[in-house]
Amino acid sequence: MLQMRSFLPPLLFTLAYAALSLGVTNSYYQLILTLVPVWAVFGLSWNLLSGYTGLISFGHAAFFGIGAYATALGQIYFNISPWLLIPVAAMLGGIAGLLIGFPTFRLQGHYFALAMLAYPLAILYVFEWLGFQEVTLPIKRDAPIAYMQFADPHVYTLLGLAIMLATIVLTQVIERSRFGMALLAIKQNEAAAEAAGINTLAWKLRAITLSGAIAATIGGFYAQVLLVVTPQSVFGMLVSAQALTVAMFGGVGTVWGPVIGSVILIPLAEILHAEAGARFPGIQGVIFGFAIVCVILLAPEGLFWKLRDLLRKRMAPKAAAADIPDTSAANVTTLKPAPRQRAATGEVVLEVKNLSRSFGGLKAVQDVSFKLHENEILGIIGPNGAGKTTLFNLLNGFLKPSQGEVLIDGRNMSGQRPHVICEAGIGRTFQVMRPFLRMSILDNVVVGAYVRARSDEEARKLAADAVARVGLSAVADRVAGELSTKELRLMELARAIAGQPRILLLDETLAGLGHGEADEVVAVIQQLARDGMTIAIIEHTMQAMVRLVDSFLVLDHGAVITEGLPEVVTRDSRVIEAYLGKKWVGHAAN
Given candidates 11, 15, 26, 294, which one binds other proteins under the rule CB under 8 A?
26
Binding of other proteins at residue 128 (CB under 8 A)?
yes
Q: Which is nearer to other proteins, 8 or 139 (CB)?
A: 139
CB of 464 to other proteins, least distance (A): 46
Least separation in angstroms between CB 227 and other proteins? 4
Residues 515/521/524/529 CA torsion (nearest 10 deg): -90
CB of 7 to other proteins, least distance (A): 25
State in angstroms the smallest separation of the CB of 307 from other proteins: 20
202 counts as binding other proteins under rule CB under 8 A: no
Question: Residue 216 or residue 459: which is nearer to other proteins going by CB?
Answer: 216
Q: Does 24 bind other proteins (CB under 8 A)?
A: yes
Q: Is 285 in the site for other proteins (CB under 8 A)?
A: yes
Q: Could you tell me if residue 189 is left (phi over 0), alpha (psi between -120 and 50 degrees) or otherwise beta?
A: beta
Binding track, positions 149-168, relative to other proteins; x by CB under 8 A:
--x-----------------
Establish if 35 lies at the interface with other proteins (CB under 8 A).
Answer: yes
Binder of other proteins out of 176, 273, 308, 371 (CB under 8 A)? 273
Nearest distance from C-beta of residue 33 to other proteins, angstroms:
9
User: Which listed residue (7, 13, 18, 32) binds other proteins by CB under 8 A?
Assistant: 32
Q: Does 125 bind other proteins (CB under 8 A)?
A: yes
Burial pattern 162-185, b for ≥16 Cβ within 10 A else e, equals ebbbebbbebbebbeebbbbbbbb
Compute CA distances 60 → 132, 146, 332, whole Å.
20, 29, 46
Residue 512 binds other proteins, judged by CB under 8 A: no
| Angle made by CA atoms 408, 414, 418, in degrees to the nearest 5 | 90
CA dihedral of 263, 267, 269, 274, whole degrees rounded to 10 = 180
CB closer to other proteins out of 155 and 559: 155
Nearest distance from residue 23's CB to other proteins, in Å? Answer: 6
Amino acid at 530: R
Nearer to other proteins, 68 or 523 (CB): 68
The least distance separating other proteins from the CB of residue 229, rounded to whole angstroms, comes to 8
Based on C-alpha coordinates, what's the Rg of the chain?
29
Shortest distance in whole angstroms from residue 225 CB to other proteins: 8
Cβ distance 19 to 178 under 8 Å? no
The DSSP code for 527 is: H
Task: Verify binding: residue 277, other proteins, rule CB under 8 A.
Answer: yes
Taking the complex as a whole, the smallest distance from the CB of residue 230 to other proteins amounts, in Å, to 5
Helix residue ranges, H only, 24-108: 27-46, 52-53, 61-78, 82-104
Count interface residues toward other proteins (CB under 8 A). 41
Among 13, 29, 288, 370, binds other proteins (CB under 8 A): 29
According to the binding rule CB under 8 A, does residue 230 interact with other proteins? yes
Residue whose CB is less far from other proteins, 163 or 554: 163
Q: Which is nearer to other proteins, 21 or 429 (CB)?
A: 21
Least Cα distance to 444 among 472, 413, 421 occurs for: 472
Residue 238 binds to other proteins (criterion: CB under 8 A): yes
Sign of CA dihedral 316, 317, 318, 322: positive
- Residue 452 · residue 499 · CB < 8 Å: yes
Residue among 131 and 581 whose Cβ is closer to other proteins? 131
Q: Which of 126, 274, 320, 329 binds other proteins (CB under 8 A)?
A: 274
Closest to other proteins by CB, 53 vs 233, is 233
Nearest distance from C-beta of residue 11 to other proteins, angstroms: 19
DSSP one-letter code for 352: E
DSSP strand pairing (362-373 vs 348-359): antiparallel
* Part in contact with other proteins (CB under 8 A); list of ranges 25-33, 209-217, 401-409, 527-535: 25-33
DSSP 272: I
With 0-12 CB in 10 A as exposed, 13-18 as middle and 19+ as buried, what is 423?
A: middle
Contact 34, 28 (CB under 8 A): no
**Alpha-carbon distances, residue 67 vs 80, 84, 90, 211, 504 (angstroms):** 14, 12, 7, 12, 48
Q: Looking at 93-101, 229-237, 394-402, 422-430, which segment touches other proteins (CB under 8 A)? A: 229-237
C-alpha closest to that of 496 among 201, 190, 195, 184: 195
Residue span binding other proteins (CB under 8 A) among the ranges 123-131, 210-218, 545-553, 578-586: 123-131
| Separation between Cα atoms, residue 483 and residue 493, nearest integer Å | 14
Binding-site member from 224, 284, 375, 526 for other proteins (CB under 8 A): 284
Among residues 267 and 385, whose Cβ is nearest to other proteins?
A: 267
Task: Tell which residue, 528, 387, 431, 354, has the closest CA to residue 195.
Answer: 431
Q: Does 138 bind other proteins (CB under 8 A)?
A: yes
Contact between 28 and other proteins per CB under 8 A? yes
Give dist(CA 383, CA 202) in Å, integer: 38
Binding residues for other proteins, rule: CB under 8 A, are: 20, 23-29, 31-32, 35, 125, 128-129, 131, 133-134, 136, 138-139, 151, 226-228, 230, 232-233, 236, 238, 270-271, 273-275, 277-279, 281-282, 284-285
